[in-house]
Chain A
Amino acid sequence: MARMSVSGFYAYYSENPALRNISLEIPDRQVLALIGPSGCGKTTFLRSLNRMNDFVKGFSVKGQVTLDDVDIYSSGLHPVVLRRRVGMVFQKPNPFHKSIFENVAYGLRIQGVRSRLILSDRVEQSLRSAALWDEVKDRLNSSAFSLSGGQQQRLCIARALAVEPEVLLLDEPASALDPISTARIEELIQDLKTQYAIVIVTHNMQQAARVSDRTAFFLTGEMVEIGETSRIFTNPSDERTEDYITGRFG
């Protein structure tokens, strides 16, 4: 059932441990929320799942992360292939300085898709999945920067969906957006979970409660607790989790 599985995972920035002994499962067609105070390692963890930390000098890992039972660090699975299967959306919308169409087509083009027909098809499909199609269908050739912040973030989601990933990683995807755009993104996550395994980092406790099936609480590089979201928020088993979700620190 688990798409990805993490066990005994450690991550270091030049010898300084940023994550210690993390073990958890990322099931298909579910949303896993990662919560915890700033600097507790949420982003590090998320970026370890598609090896985006490989670009950080001095970064190293220990332990195991698997995607469909294949170890992503030691099996010879190429990071480029891994990232096509494990897509990522960043905190700040980061569309390319290209047209709306070309932003979504980018991931396909780099895989060598040339056919205009296939491209148009997949672009439309991805924009529909990201609930953006109706707003942009008449101006696919305008710059991505003519869109609002919320639209840009949905464009980035569409861009990630276009390469048909299996897992979608979202790092505080709504933290730079207004409440209405945030609500749209949350709705969208609900739609997407019917097809993908989703991991979302969020600072916003209500958001975690609204969108996720399971929640993991991180603190100073360790995972304190993981469980059904409803239980974590009503009846946490660790005192530190309770302190955090009731706002006593963080």
Chain B
Amino acid sequence: MQGSPMNGISEGLSPFRRFRNLLLGGLTGLFFFFAVSPLLLIVYVAWNQGRSALNWEFISTLPSGFPLGTEGGILNGIVGSLVLVVIASSLSVPVGIWAGLYLWQDGKSRQAGLVRLLSDLLLGVPSVVWGIVGFYVFSTSTGMGFHWGFSAMAGGLTLGFIMVPIVTRVTEQALRDVPMSFIEGSYALGATRWQTMRSVALPGAMAGIGTGILLGILNVLGQTAPLVFTNYYNTGLPSSLVGSQGAVGDLAMQIFIYVHEPSQLLHVKAMAASLVLLGIVLALDIGIRLMTWGSRKIAGRVG
């Protein structure tokens, strides 16, 4: 321990203070351990249990064999999850960002208060409720709406609606986090609200908005309840986005189904599929971070 920073700090202190420093240091370490250990545990368990099934074939072929999936891979789930995320994002990213911009620029008005309240209520709607409403609106042939059957469009849009309030909230917050001094600097030069929003606030908020979109996507990637009623699952690849051929596979659903099968091999494959899901999450995270690198600097999040 000679020359360690902890030693340096404690030098010349009374025994009581030394003890207190040690205790606080220990507690900090303990809390740190509890904060990161779940992540380590997830990666460890999934890797340990699923590694043996992970290979190129696993991510590049459709499931086959009996029970289905004991041979082949999870291409249906990977493709389906990506399709669902793309559909959900095409709805929620523009709508959510627009709503967030509105809340930011009209922040103190009564309408904004109402929008914020509704948005917060939506955040709290259980996903199974979203699912059944999505079913009624998008999927049934007797309900109100679109008669799309169990399809990627019905599932994706339902997931999109779940994402909207998340993106809205985070966008508004990210805009508020842009230091007031930049905003005022822009106004003082004769910029309008819109110009200030576009040229100063939005570029500064991109990192936060990116994080919001990521949070939304992660939420959606893990959902199964809303999909049970709107898309369910497909063991193959979809040939359309709506109608009777429109259902897609989905990684979360696939894991859920495999774990319920009385097959040791499928349990291993469920673990391997979890690893793939983690990989996708990681790739998305890195991708969004790279895309918003410039903005992170503005927000003071990196050097």
Chain A residues proximal to chain B, CB less than 8 Å: 50, 52, 55, 57, 80-81, 83-84, 87-88, 90, 92, 94-97, 106-107, 109-111, 156, 159-160, 163
Contact = CB atoms under 8 A, between A and B. Distances in A.
A110 B197 CA distance: 12
Contacts of A110: 189-192, 195, 199
A84 to B, nearest CB: 4
Nearest to B295: A97
A67 to B, nearest CB: 14
Contacts of A109: 199
B188 A80 contact: no
Interface of B: 108, 179, 181-182, 184-192, 195, 199-200, 203-204, 297-298
B181 A92 contact: yes
B297 A52 contact: no
Given A90-B184, A92-B181, A110-B195, A97 B298 contact: yes
B199 A106 contact: yes
B189 A106 contact: yes
Given A57-B108, A97-B204, A106-B199, A52 B187 contact: yes
B187 A111 contact: no
A109 B190 CA distance: 11
A97 B182 CA distance: 9
A68 to B, nearest CB: 17
B186 A81 contact: no
Contacts of A90: 181, 184-185, 188
24 contacts: A52-B184, A52-B187, A57-B108, A80-B190, A80-B192, A81-B190, A83-B190, A90-B181, A90-B184, A90-B185, A90-B188, A92-B181, A94-B184, A95-B185, A96-B185, A97-B203, A97-B297, A106-B191, A110-B190, A111-B190, A159-B185, A160-B188, A163-B189, A163-B190
A88 B188 CA distance: 6
A84 B185 contact: no
B177 to A, nearest CB: 14
Contacts of A50: 188
Nearest to B203: A97
Contacts of B108: 57
A84 B190 contact: yes
Contacts of A80: 190-192
